[in-house]
Structure 1
Amino acid sequence: MPYKPKRSWVENAAVSLGLIRAGSEAVGGPARSNDTGRAGLPLARFPTPDQWDDFVEFDAHEWPRRAVPRHYRLAPTTCFNCESACGLLAYIDKETGEIRKFEGNPAHPGSRGKNCAKGPATINQINDPDRILAPLKRVGPRGGGKWQEVSWDEVLADIGGRIRKALQEDRRDEIVYHVGRPGAEGFIDRVLRAWGVDGHNSHTNICSSGARLGYALWSGYDRPSPDYANARFILALNAHLESGHYFNPHAQRISEGLARGAKMAVVDPRLSNTASLATYWLPTRPGTEAALVLAMAHVILNEDLYDKAFIERWVNWRETLAAAADGRLRPGARGTGLRPVSARVENPCKQSPVEDRCHSQDLGDTIEGFIALLKDRYAPFTPDAVAEECGVPAEQIVKIARLAAEAGSRFCSHTWRGAASAHLGGWQVSRCLMLLHALTGSVGTEGGCLPAGWNKYKASLINVPPPQNHWNELHWPREFPLTHYEMSFLLPHFLLEGRGKIDVYFTRVFNPVWTYPDGFTWIQALRDESKIGLSIALTPTWNETAFFADYVLPMGHGPERHDLNTYETHSGTWIAFRQPVLRAAVRAEGRQIRDTRDTNPGKVWEEDEFWIALTWAIDPDGSLGIRKYFESAKSPGTMLSVDEYYEYAFDRVPGLKETAAQAGLSPLDYMRKFGAFEVKKREYERHERRLSEKELEGAATDPATGVLTKAGHVVGVVLRNVAAGTGKMPVPPATLRTNLGGTGVSPVSDASGTGKMPIPPEVAVEGFATPSRRLEFFSQTMVDWGWGEYAIPWYIPSHIWEERAGSREQGREKTGIEGSRDQGIEGRQTAASGSNSSFSSLQSSFLEMCLLPTFRLPTLIHTRSGSAKWLNEISQRNPIWIHTSDAAELKLHTGDLVRVNTEIGYFVDRVWVTEGIRPGVVACSHHLGRWRRPQDPPASRWSGSVVQIDELEAGKWRMRQISGPQPFESPDPDSRRIWWRDGGVHQNITFPVHPDPISGMHCWHQRVTVERAKREDQSGDVFVDTARSMQVYREWMKKTRWPVGPGGLRRPLWLGRPLRPTDAAYKIDGGR
């Protein structure tokens, strides 16, 4: 339902001046408005679709004279400047055939016509004077900086022949496709499966694998879909609103929720834009977030604020009680591999979750016994004890816990990177967060957190190859059976220590030399041709990794290629079509083209067509059995076209064919015209969806657990609807009130005609995607795979912590901010009290601190924003945030240089002194510090610096900036107007790898010493010792275990993984 937000003082002033009408349109209302401006001209948010083929807009240079009309064709596509895939409309000048600008697509259900700064900046990337316009092959030594142009035919013949030889020699693990943010659904999986290789690698384990594992252990889904717009209380363990997943769509819905009266608490050591808008800001000590969440659980349990009916129906409490009874909750005999939490006896938060206090009790087999176990296990996490641990006031912990309980099923939360990606054991943050949702009954509910899979559409693809029967241990090593997902950031270390080699290595939307930790070790591996035989960078622009490739192949930006997109932006489900907009415009004019190269600039291609052509080059006669997956079904013996591929997918989207027919279009033409389609408006309580007779046919029920299996796979669970205390499960009132899955079908029918719906003795429902089909508080998977001491949600202290005498935080205050959102930051009050609490590990002459290196800026992207001039004019530097008290101790002022020392080197940067960060913590955004060497082609000159890189001796690397961004000559006149000279500092290259032994996540937060810069230091200086980085890598690898799972498995079959192979490949001796 549309709502009317309060007008700001600016809007009130505009009303009084007659600039806008007093009756402003409600947010969420129709896209058109009947308002008129002062000149009496109609105002509208967007051109209507009937205008998209010929939209007239007057040249802004002639305003206010409406003298030069411009005619545009509007073609929809999706943005590729983050993972949200927001809708864009390309304005194509009908006279010149050029793209003039990008604006929002109002037909897109996720973004609803709105974009952040990154969307319109797509035009900068399209017109970047430094973009690559033809295929290039290196000349001379790898990394030498010399290139020659080659034809696409040469490229296909060379790479195709090399892959064909590797496949014929059964060297399948030597073919690797390594991608950053893919921004597409399913296409590359078809390619790799057709080739029969387990060759998919990704960037997930430097992004989100910590949070993914915590969520997956609970529900089987590795990410949440928060229903912010309908929430009553939002808990954000991140800087989510302005920079996280999914930035623009989520920011809209968080704003809607707040406008409707929701309260929000933000847990973040840094005062982000989101925190400044929150009701509560809790700047916890980094790494203590799980303890904070468990203190909230303590309050909810001990004040009896939990949803008993939901817990009884949907949490695996019987399995938990059985585990407590038979000793599976006891400590493992081999130790943890992590620093034992029970070692810190002075703080009750550090007791192990597997103490034997409950084991001797007879808890029986009742929900009351389970609640008693919860209260007992989390008894140490009192608000007072956790306040000491986290450094925030106990009364604030109690307040936000009660707010979560009061919100009940409309309690909403999110964590993605932040704490979950920052610390050893960070995966327990999301796991503890899910405990709050289980206690409040806010899983799958309106205003709560939904599993992401409910709100993502899984497309039906043409002629899908069978799964590969191979397991690539360079990506999925045995030490990490629970990793989410590939251990990609350890690839160079694995190669350098002789675990394998790669013959053909593709990188796409991927720049590990700059983005990943330990970038100089990546350089060492990339330049070693005995480790990587042929390196191919698929990229529209130069980057630090492409400098060390053998081929650099120009692929289109987002509006220059085809993709399917679908993301869990809200409680509905949608699918969007990323398409080459100039190709769409040419087609609309009735002109024929050969492929996307005919409309892209230069010789720029697109990935889909490239992969199809490469597959034909690998198997030109079909003798390898590969080519058949990329042959046309309409015209056998010819190459599959992208039109036929997407036509097949869109023909099978539920409801699209009917909607398209009403517009007189085919499903493919509908998507070309509108760019997006809403598959489901909303979906709640899908776990309560009753299974159909067809789904139940041939299924077997486990009499003890009610789990339904069919053809060896779990498909649902039978819930018994009898009063509690009898050993059978009750039906909670919410289930009887709610329609299932948005279908309008009630869980039980009223056959009596009395209006009272009878409760059947049992019901078979979908449940969750776990082995028990319930939410798993106790995880037998953790026991089976050697980590039984963490079988329940618990707090694992960060790797930043170590016991030392004294502390730089000794005597500092607990800090939390509370205030009305309407007050603004000036109106907030600080809740503080004295404390002898200590961030015990951080000291050493008041220089040792925790570095938070992962926060994002709303205007920048990982590496893609380097070619966007507008974005770089807004944000060019990444200074060190430091608290005023720390700056005073170090006698620092804003702009002063500091040296930040890591385990393997240091970097030099300027400081920004602020109250907006917790004392004892420094922060540096990761977006900036792009570079090229003097011998490299011009690259990202809007943002990058020219640097000198020297290997002083074996493994000792130094980088020094020669110059920052400078004006340069190009067809774009703005290149002569660059006024900034600072492009930031490359910090990630100075970090060693920190693989979490359970989730596989790189733990980003760094223990650093901060000191005033040396006399010889310059801003941007970097030094790294890669011999030391290999030592740190080996130290962290010692934390891992080598478990062999049940049945000799490498990994639990029920846990997801990209490019899933055959079940046989999961067995250590089963896959090749």
Structure 2
Amino acid sequence: MAAAAVGGVGALEITSRMPHTTTVDPLSNTTQVPSLCQMCTTACGIIGHIANGRLVKITGNRLDPNSQGAVCGKGVAGPSVLYDPFRLLYPLKRVGERGSGRWRRISWDEAYDEIAGRLREIRERGRPEEFAFQQGRNRSTDIISRFLNAYGTPSQFNHRALCSSNRRAAIATTIGESDWDLGDFEHSNYVLNFGCNWAEAHQGHIPVAIRMMRARQNGAKLVTFETRLSNTAALSDEWFCVKPGTDGLIALAMANVICRENLWDRPWLEAWSNYPPDKIAEYVAQYTPAYAERESGVPATTIERIAREFAAAAPRCTTICNRGSQSHRNGYYNDRAITMLNALVGNMGKRGGWCWHPQSAWDKKAIPEPNPIPPKPTTRSIIAEAKDWPLANAFGSQMKVAEVIYLWIKERRQKVSALMTYNADTAWSWPEAHLVREVLRDETLIPFHVCIDVMYSETAHLADIILPWTTYLERWDIDARPPQGLVDYVGLRQPVVAPRGQSKDVRDIFPELARRVGGGMEKYFPWRTTEEYLEEYFRPVPGGFAAMRTRGIWIDPAKKPRYEPHTKPLTADQLAGATEDPHTGIIYKGADSKTGQPAAIGIRVGGVARRGFLTPSRKVEIHSDFIVNKGKAAGREVNPLPVYDPIVSHQRDFPDGQLIMTSYKINVHNAHRTMQSKWLQEISHTNPALLNRATAGKLGIRDGDWIELTSFRPRDAAVPMGDGSKLGTLRTRCASPKAFTRW
């Protein structure tokens, strides 16, 4: 399909057919190269097996503490992307109208000169924010951030708002120090799952699945609330089909039962909650199981029973949630309510309980980025600051509300003179994709567009210059993911084979662009090669870069699993020169580098000066003044407590033929990054609509029938373009799984 989409001058030059080779036995002697997968976000450790310079198979790296030698179907299919005959292998420049599909092959020097010239002109005008950078799954964060910061643009966007912003913001609000929860599933006795399909598509897919199945083998109970009968639901002891967006209400109703029946851990709450237990009980009294039954479809008696079971299993119980609970208009509140359940039963940080780790990557204090480090941009960016969304950038880990930027560019809220898209097929996979295509096509809105990607895509089709990017099997990265074993690690992604054609790693592209843009940018890239840079980066690791190339993974053997970090006593050195607030017990020392206010370093609990949580109160914040104040600053009302905020467009009677549609992922596909894999397409190449049999019967639809599906924007004034208007129509086949039940 990629070749068919590309017409005109030089079209054949973007393809390179799979080279002829003799048959290689994958089980014969091969050279083994450790690296890291990137067929999804989990970044499992892998081993590439090379024969005669060709990758013949991929297996797991047993040294990876997260995946422990396992690899999924997507990971095994890596060679099908590496050797895809329709890969981009040479730089291209359009020669027709934008979107016409007419291209000319150019040299890298020509591409560099034109891009650098455009960027230099913008920067020398003193408007670096007019260069916008839109990234998808970025695992080369160090080099890309270095380039963008050296350039001085704050207009940097990722896909997080479409992925996990609500969940991350809910956790950051509650405990402050992390935007990732890491249930200690392997040691848990009871797991409540709110809409997480960990058996197929969780952010920690294989690492979570390994530990969850060990827990099941050890007798742990798993209860799943999810709209679809997923593989995760099938592996659960109990599955409840819930109405979309009601997970938070179920959690609040369970909190009602736990408080009402004194099933909570009151001493823990009194020590570590910033909101008194009795006030919590008074607040959740409104969320009765009967109310939750009416809204969610889960029987009130079931909610009561499960709440009692969950509390009885404490502290070796935990929750897990993901897009099923948080990818809704009310997802932030849903996940705050779910997080609160853990605080109520006192399992936070406990073995077998709800845990977390401050490192969503490697320990960057122990293994810092080499100097010189460019300063953060000081210019303002309307589209990056996202003032309409008060919690978008409220926490240390920025949420980047990037799915609205194309609307804002169309509305000319901010001028964009150049856009660079990187590993992000926004014109195909983004909400309001037709709007994205409209904006990308309009040269008055975006005069210059550079696309960096492995494959020709809908977004590349609307670019001015396309730069061929290496696959993850041909490039370098420093990488790691949140440690499921609560001990951080660092990994090396390295080329298992040489880059095909003239494709290049961004670690080659951005330093060269910086040198050509000039103006001082070049001083932040003093290394001649990526290997030289990595030599410096891995100097703190025993054995350095050479050891990383051999093993692929390093873990500090002195580190232990990070249970209950909030209870760690402050040392005498930390307390030297500190002051303590006699009313709150909060301990201060020095000043906050951002606000200039006294910096909190801990809190006195039980007569001991402890580290505490990294919230303003140094406690678990069931009630958050911080987010209220952030909302006020943006002219928005944010509730300080977890609430059930019904989805407006769901609160009506639907006429015949109108239904609530939800989406999901399966185990062999991951957004746009696997669509070009022939191997994975052979496993699953259809996208059917799953429909309840009773509903299908009313509509006269049978299994396999073709249907026309029309979607509408929500009727919600608080949502951009929330006018209920028609959005789009598609044709697909329909399936009606027998196991589906009505809400």
Normalised by the length of structure 1, the TM-score is: 0.62
State the alpha-carbon separation in 2 of the partners of residues 404 and 470 from structure 1.
49
Which residue matches 2:539? 651
- State how 1:122-521 maps to structure 2 within 5 Å: 122-220=78-176, 221-238=178-195, 239-317=197-275, 370-421=276-327, 423-454=328-359, 456-459=361-364, 460-463=368-371, 464-483=373-392, 485-521=399-435
**Aligned-pair distance for 1:864?**
1.1
1:536 aligns with 2:450: yes
**Aligned-pair distance for 1:84?**
0.6
The SS at the match of 1:435 is helix
Kept in 2, the 8 Å contact 1:454–1:686? The answer is no
Which residue matches 1:883? 692
Instruction: Give the counterpart letter for 1:164 in structure 2.
Output: R
**Aligned-pair distance for 1:172?**
1.1
State the alpha-carbon separation in 2 of the partners of residues 153 and 491 from structure 1.
31
State the alpha-carbon separation in 2 of the partners of residues 150 and 424 from structure 1.
45
Kept in 2, the 8 Å contact 1:110–1:574? The answer is no
RMSD: 1.8
**Aligned-pair distance for 1:699?**
3.5
**Aligned-pair distance for 1:776?**
0.6
Instruction: Give the counterpart letter for 2:206 in structure 1.
Output: N
Which residue matches 1:900? 709
2:465 aligned to which of 551, 559, 565: 551
State the alpha-carbon separation in 2 of the partners of residues 788 and 572 from structure 1.
38
1:581 aligned to which of 475, 479, 496: 496
Which residue matches 2:440? 526
What percent of counterpart residues are identical?
A: 29
Q: Report the structure number with the largest CA radius of gyration.
A: 1
Kept in 1, the 8 Å contact 2:427–2:436? The answer is yes
State the alpha-carbon separation in 2 of the partners of residues 393 and 521 from structure 1.
42
State the alpha-carbon separation in 2 of the partners of residues 642 and 59 from structure 1.
31
Kept in 2, the 8 Å contact 1:225–1:452? The answer is yes
Kept in 1, the 8 Å contact 2:258–2:264? The answer is yes
Which residue matches 1:782? 627
1:88 aligns with 2:88: no
- State how 1:631-646 maps to structure 2 within 5 Å: 631-632=526-527, 639=528, 641-646=529-534
- Structure 1 runs not aligned, ≥5 long: 1-57, 62-68, 318-369, 583-598, 633-638, 658-665, 722-760, 803-840, 921-1072
- State how 1:598-747 maps to structure 2 within 5 Å: 599-619=498-518, 624-632=519-527, 639=528, 641-652=529-540, 656-657=541-542, 666-679=543-556, 680-713=559-592, 714-721=599-606
Instruction: Give the counterpart letter for 2:209 in structure 1.
Output: A
State the alpha-carbon separation in 2 of the partners of residues 173 and 918 from structure 1.
51
CA offsets 1:572-631 (integer angstroms, 9 cap, x no match) = 21111111123xxxxxxxxxxxxxxxx311101101121111111111xxxx22211111
State the alpha-carbon separation in 2 of the partners of residues 562 and 697 from structure 1.
43
2:658 aligned to which of 833, 848, 851: 848
Kept in 2, the 8 Å contact 1:109–1:677? The answer is no
Aligned CA distance change for structure 1 residues 500 and 898 (closer, same or farther; 3 Å): same
Kept in 1, the 8 Å contact 2:428–2:458? The answer is yes
CA offsets 1:743-776 (integer angstroms, 9 cap, x no match) = xxxxxxxxxxxxxxxxxx432x222221112111
Kept in 1, the 8 Å contact 2:271–2:605? The answer is no
1:865 aligns with 2:714: no
**Aligned-pair distance for 1:651?**
2.0
**Aligned-pair distance for 1:60?**
4.5
Kept in 1, the 8 Å contact 2:483–2:489? The answer is no
Instruction: Give the counterpart letter for 1:191 in structure 2.
Output: F
CA offsets 1:528-547 (integer angstroms, 9 cap, x no match) = 11211211111111111111
- State how 1:17-36 maps to structure 2 within 5 Å: none
The SS at the match of 1:448 is coil
Kept in 2, the 8 Å contact 1:267–1:281? The answer is yes
- Structure 2 runs not aligned, ≥5 long: 1-22, 393-397, 593-598, 713-726
The SS at the match of 2:733 is strand
State the alpha-carbon separation in 2 of the partners of residues 514 and 602 from structure 1.
26
Instruction: Give the counterpart letter for 2:263 in structure 1.
Output: L
Which residue matches 1:46? none
State the alpha-carbon separation in 1 of the partners of residues 103 and 167 from structure 2.
42
The SS at the match of 1:137 is strand
Aligned CA distance change for structure 1 residues 720 and 99 (closer, same or farther; 3 Å): closer
Which residue matches 1:662? none
The SS at the match of 1:132 is coil
**Aligned-pair distance for 1:487?**
2.1
State the alpha-carbon separation in 1 of the partners of residues 576 and 361 from structure 2.
27
**Aligned-pair distance for 1:681?**
4.9
CA offsets 1:682-705 (integer angstroms, 9 cap, x no match) = 211111122334433443333322
Kept in 2, the 8 Å contact 1:316–1:772? The answer is yes
State the alpha-carbon separation in 2 of the partners of residues 167 and 693 from structure 1.
49
State the alpha-carbon separation in 1 of the partners of residues 277 and 569 from structure 2.
28
Instruction: Give the counterpart letter for 2:506 in structure 1.
Output: E
**Aligned-pair distance for 1:490?**
1.2
The SS at the match of 2:457 is coil
Which residue matches 1:592? none
Instruction: Give the counterpart letter for 2:384 in structure 1.
Output: H
The SS at the match of 1:581 is coil
Aligned CA distance change for structure 1 residues 103 and 262 (closer, same or farther; 3 Å): same
The SS at the match of 2:145 is helix
Kept in 2, the 8 Å contact 1:454–1:683? The answer is no
Kept in 1, the 8 Å contact 2:34–2:45? The answer is yes
State the alpha-carbon separation in 2 of the partners of residues 449 and 184 from structure 1.
30
State the alpha-carbon separation in 1 of the partners of residues 738 and 216 from structure 2.
25
1:766 aligns with 2:681: no
